[in-house]
Amino acid sequence: MESSLTFENQLNTCIRAIQERGLSVEECLTLYPAQRADLEPLLRLVVRLQAARSIQAPPQFRQIAAERMRLMIAASPRRVRHPLSVGIVDRLWQLGRVAIQGRHVPRLAAALSLILIICSLVGTSAAFASAESLPGDPLYPLKIGIEGTQLLLATNDIQTVNLRITFAGRRLDEASILIGKKRSDRARTALVRYNAELADALAPLHDPSRLPSATQQSLADMLDARLTQQQLHIDALLAETQSDDIAARQALEQARIQAEQGRSLAQQLLGRPGNLPDDMPRLPANTRSATPTPVPSATPTMSSTPTPTAQAWPPAAKTPTPPMWPTWFVTPTTPMPWPTWQMPPVAPPRTPPGWPTWPILPTVTPGTPPPAWPTPVMWPTPSVWPTFPAWPTHPPLPTPPAHPTPPGRPTPRSWPTAPGNASP
């Protein structure tokens, strides 16, 4: 045991010498000549492993992935976090605006009185601090109270649902922070609250006949968009959560089911077929459970983690402008939203003899697309985009024989290229 420990220390010393001081294997072996036979193969292995650092993403993947990532990010915008002070001012501004527009003076008076009472009791600083509080914090009830006041001031179903879905998003943010702090128990509380907020937000949709059709449409549109974002957020949290954090994963899985159910409901109202599987439990109408719904299985099923397709590609309905490009992408009056996103110079591909050569797309500077290549890959000037063909209907490039696209890929790997795009 002792000799093993000594050998391990010697090995570590040599590895550090190679990694930090750049010593060669031979130089390291001179430090421990007696251990040469045992040390040498391991040190040579370390050097071999270091060589794998030269692996780089293929150039064509870099280019395609950069484009796709831009589109995916554009299709799944995040709620921007305001600084604390801005958040409070924004809320007060909303209260006043709602009161003036809706002329609900008695409700405003009640709400303002409540705010004044709260502020006088716990002080303005506590109210400010409560905005960033988390479940289990002393100021958290105050945060929930302020949200309740906002709900009191809502004058119609759209405002109410909008607030509730916003609060649900906050519960997800809280869960995200708590999972990061490895406080699974409190994260679970936040996720239970998320489910409750979501159930309340969806309640009006269970009896749509009492809503005007325009309101139905607005609510369904808004819920569909917001729940898509929240699903992605939950997926991200599932990815971050350690596999052994069973409680947090269970709560996240439950929240994901709730969000999926809500989105399916919204899509049904929009006249689209919901993608809720038949075996998924339906959301009961107008129910709000105060206690967390237990997950039926004691051993969580991790296979419900979303597939790459579901995560990576937002639904086609989310794409703002047909055929596939967002409005901001083609509207000439819109300032270029990604001016700084430039592909760095790509090293020439290192292709072994006999390996098919992929066309390398030239670097294009913004505003000056190359005349011989009308299909822009970087950010072109907006004026050249209206003629861009819809890429889903573009005939795909023939796949190179030695690099076939495996079945089941959600997206064509071939990128539409113009006839002028020849190999360099």
Partner 1 sequence: MAGDPRRERELVQRAIAGDADAFGALYLMHLDAIYRYALLRVRNSTEAEDLTEQVFLKAWQAIPGYRQYGKDFIHWLYTIAHNVVVDYHRRRDSVHISLSDAVIEEEHETSVLDALVQAEDVSALSAAIAQLPEEQQQVIILRFVEGLNYNEVARIMGKSEGACRIIQYRALLALNKLLVGEQV
CA distance 352 to 344: 23
- The DSSP result for 134-182, as a single string, is -TTSTTHHHHHHHHHHHHHH--SHHHHHHHHHHHHHHHHHHHHHHHHTT
Tell me which residue of 135, 147, 129 sits closest to 176, measured CA to CA.
135
**From candidates 86, 89, 117, 239, binder to partner 1 by CB under 8 A:** 239
Near partner 1 by CB under 8 A: residue from 305, 319, 414, 417: 305
By CB under 8 A, what part of segment 161-220 binds partner 1?
A: 173, 176-177, 180-181
Q: Is residue 321 within the footprint of partner 1 (CB under 8 A)?
A: no
Q: Establish if 103 lies at the interface with partner 1 (CB under 8 A).
A: no
Q: Would you count residue 409 as binding partner 1 (CB under 8 A)?
A: yes
Cβ atoms 260, 276 nearer than 8 A: yes
Q: Which two tokens stand for residue 101?
A: 């527009």
Please state the closest distance from residue 287 (CB atom) to partner 1, in A. Answer: 29
| C-alpha dihedral sign at 399, 400, 405, 406 | positive
49-78 mask for partner 1 (x: CB under 8 A)? xxxxxxxxxx--xx--xx-xxx-xxx-xxx
Shortest Cβ distance from residue 62 to partner 1 (Å)?
6
Instruction: Report the nearest approach of partner 1 to the CB of residue 296 (Å).
Output: 19
| φ and ψ of 365, to 5 deg | -85, 145
Q: Give least dist CB 195 to partner 1, A.
A: 19
Binding-residue total with partner 1 (CB under 8 A): 76
Q: Using the rule CB under 8 A, is 140 a contact of partner 1?
A: no
Q: Is 363 in the site for partner 1 (CB under 8 A)?
A: no
- Return the closest-CA partner of residue 267 out of 229, 230, 315: 315
352 binds partner 1, rule: CB under 8 A: yes
Rule CB under 8 A: is residue 303 a binding residue for partner 1?
A: yes
Q: What CA–CA distance (Å, rounded) separates 64 from 354? A: 24
Considering beta carbons, is residue 120 or 307 the nearer one to partner 1? 307
Q: Are 346 and 360 in contact (CB under 8 A)?
A: yes
Selection from 253, 255, 259, 296 nearest residue 276 by Cα: 259
Which one, 322 or 352, has the nearer CB to partner 1? 352
93 binds partner 1, rule: CB under 8 A: no
Q: How far is the CB of 30 from partner 1 (least distance, A)?
A: 20
